């Protein structure tokens, strides 16, 4: 099944959650090219990838009750499904229900795009977490909430302690719409959740990036120092690294892949590597139109590019620089631990019915963020301060979204 066929088949689903859920998820597995759930067995311990996984709830009064997970895969995820309905469709069904009293119309969990629907998705997430709590000796790394035919909400706790299920990859992009599945990267994302969920752990990815980049650059520096003094190599390398970072965060006029494509274009053209790189750094030092990148660049002050000397490289050395440039430099050791902790605390308060306290917790962090001062280690380089501001503003966007979400939930309640 092609992605658009899957989308077209399910986009108008509505009403009958129980009859829609399993066919929808089976066809999703087909689309992702992952195994479909196994038949349920009498021995519950063997039901490691099944629909309607049975779990026992402790009711807190000495009694227990049985619940059933819509879809479960051991060490991967717990999935809770709901069936929402588009507003226009719901309005049409209400009209038909009024005119045709003999027939009952099922309008689904809630009208999409309304506070009631958001609240229903939040309750589904809470139910998924309750199921995860009831599975013996395991905390799956992912919780998934599916609105059949519309979207998936994704939450993750890579510590697998059950205490920190937070929107993944972040509060702004944790919701994947069915239409997004036309993108191969979106399908790869869900394949990983089904088959290798821990591979999505940002801590592992950033550590891997940091380690690999360090190894490549150390090898490059060692090979260069056979012909140049260590300080000359270090300064050249520092300019290269900053340029790699500039393209990844799109700083000062750089666009994604700008510098990497330039490096790749010098394969088998090493005689032009030095003059073209020096021309690029000269433009970065003064600002203006770069003939190398064919675009306008802002001035990168602070003195880093006053010396725009480039060193000649061999083909093998160029490949090492290209490999380093192809790494995502904005993935290297992100400093987000404090916000992650604050957000997890706020979510816990919200789930305990303490929405006002959740809002206050996030608001205090926002006030702290607004009062943060940054020390420029270069003593005046505007570039460092600009990047710091950009990253802090991105974080602030996540904080403000969390405030809006909690405030909306508070009004709904």
Residues 108-132 as b or e (16 or more Cβ within 10 Å = b):
bbbbbeeeebbbbbbebbebbbbbb
Q: Which residue has the higher pLDDT, 324 or 206?
A: 324
Torsion on CA atoms 257, 262, 264, 270, rounded to nearest 10: -160
Confidence of residue 289 (pLDDT cuts 50, 70, 90): very high
Question: What percent helix, strand, coil does the chain show, rounded to 5?
Answer: 55, 10, 35
Residue 410, pLDDT score:
62
Confidence of residue 411 (pLDDT cuts 50, 70, 90): low
Residue 101, pLDDT score:
53
Contact 77, 135 (CB under 8 A): no
CA 128 vs CA 9, 38, 77, 82, 110: distances in Å:
26, 20, 9, 11, 18
Residue 392, pLDDT score:
74
Percent of the chain at pLDDT above 70? 82
**CA–CA separation, 225 vs 153, rounded Å?**
51
Do you find a cis peptide bond into 169, omega within 30 degrees of 0? Answer: yes
Percent of the chain at pLDDT above 90? 41
Residue 390, pLDDT score:
60
**CA–CA separation, 218 vs 91, rounded Å?**
64
Q: Is the pLDDT of residue 77 over 60?
A: yes
Q: How does the average pLDDT of the chain come out, rounded?
A: 83
Section 209-237 average pLDDT = 81
The encoded tokens of residue 334 equal 């992100």
Residue 209, pLDDT score:
62
Residue 400's SS3 state is: helix
Residue 333, pLDDT score:
46
Residue 396, pLDDT score:
81
What pLDDT, in 10s, does the model give residues 83-103? 888 755 555 555 455 555 545
Section 21-43 average pLDDT = 96
What pLDDT, in 10s, does the model give residues 154-180? 999 887 877 678 888 877 789 999 999
Confidence of residue 220 (pLDDT cuts 50, 70, 90): confident
Q: Is the pLDDT of residue 152 over 90?
A: yes
According to DSSP, the residues that pair with 144 across neighbouring strands are 79, 154
Residue 105, pLDDT score:
46
**CA–CA separation, 175 vs 235, rounded Å?**
43
| HEC-encoded secondary structure of 231-245 | HHHHHHHHHHHHHHH
Q: Is the pLDDT of residue 72 over 50?
A: yes
What pLDDT, in 10s, does the model give residues 359-386? 899 999 899 888 877 655 445 445 556 5
What are residue 329's phi and psi, to 5 degrees?
Answer: -70, -20
Residue 219, pLDDT score:
82
Q: Which of 51-60, 265-274, 368-377 has the highest mean pLDDT?
A: 265-274
What are residue 21's phi and psi, to 5 degrees?
Answer: -60, -55
DSSP 8-state assignment for residue 85: B
DSSP 8-state assignment for residue 39: P
Residue whose C-alpha is closest to residue 288's, from 297, 279, 280, 277: 297
Residue 24, pLDDT score:
96
Residue 54, pLDDT score:
94
Q: Which of 114-128, 209-223, 270-284, 370-384 has the highest mean pLDDT?
A: 270-284
Q: Is the pLDDT of residue 276 over 80?
A: yes
Residue 143: in which H helix or E strand, if any?
Answer: strand 142-147
Section 196-204 average pLDDT = 84
Long-range contacts of 131-136 (CB under 8 A, 24+ apart): 131/53, 131/55, 131/67, 131/69, 131/72, 131/78, 131/80, 132/78, 132/162, 132/165, 133/162, 134/55, 134/56, 134/57, 134/58, 134/67, 135/53, 135/55, 135/72, 135/78
């Amino acid at each position: 099944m092609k992605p658009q066929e899957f989308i077209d088949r399910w986009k108008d689903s509505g009403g009958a959650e129980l009859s829609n859920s399993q066919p929808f998820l089976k066809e999703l597995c087909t689309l992702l090219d992952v195994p479909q759930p196994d038949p349920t067995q009498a021995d519950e311990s063997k039901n490691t990838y099944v629909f309607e996984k049975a779990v026992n709830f402790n009711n807190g009064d000495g009694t227990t009750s049985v619940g059933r997970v819509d879809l479960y895969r051991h060490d991967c995820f717990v999935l809770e499904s709901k069936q929402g309905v588009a507003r226009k469709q719901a309005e049409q069904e209400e009209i038909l229900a009024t005119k045709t009293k003999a027939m009952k119309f099922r309008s689904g969990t809630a009208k999409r795009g309304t506070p009631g629907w958001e609240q229903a998705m939040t309750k589904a997430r809470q139910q998924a977490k309750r199921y995860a709590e009831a599975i013996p000796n395991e905390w799956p790394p992912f919780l998934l909430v599916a609105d059949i035919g519309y979207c998936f909400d994704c939450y993750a706790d890579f510590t697998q302690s059950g205490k920190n299920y937070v929107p993944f990859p972040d509060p702004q992009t944790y919701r994947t719409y069915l239409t997004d599945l036309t993108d191969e990267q979106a399908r790869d994302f869900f394949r990983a959740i089904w088959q290798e969920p821990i591979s999505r752990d940002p801590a592992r990815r950033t550590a891997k990036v940091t380690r690999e980049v360090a190894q490549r650059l150390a090898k490059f520096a060692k090979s260069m120092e056979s012909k140049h003094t260590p300080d000359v190599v270090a300064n050249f390398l520092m300019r290269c690294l900053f340029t790699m970072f500039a393209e990844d965060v799109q700083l000062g006029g750089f666009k994604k892949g700008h510098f990497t494509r330039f490096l790749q274009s010098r394969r088998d053209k090493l005689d032009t590597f030095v003059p073209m790189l020096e021309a690029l750094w000269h433009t970065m030092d003064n600002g203006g139109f770069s003939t190398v990148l064919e675009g306008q660049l802002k001035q990168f002050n602070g003195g880093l590019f006053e010396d725009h000397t480039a060193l000649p490289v061999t083909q093998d050395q160029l490949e090492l620089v290209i490999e380093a440039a192809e790494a995502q430099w904005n993935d290297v050791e992100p400093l987000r631990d404090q916000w992650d902790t604050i957000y997890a605390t706020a979510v816990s308060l919200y789930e305990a019915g303490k929405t006002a306290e959740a809002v206050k917790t996030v608001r205090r962090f926002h006030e702290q963020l607004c009062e943060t001062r940054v020390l420029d280690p270069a003593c005046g380089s505007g570039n460092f301060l600009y990047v710091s501001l950009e990253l802090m503003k991105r974080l602030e966007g996540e904080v403000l979204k969390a405030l809006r979400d909690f405030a909306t939930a508070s009004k709904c309640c």
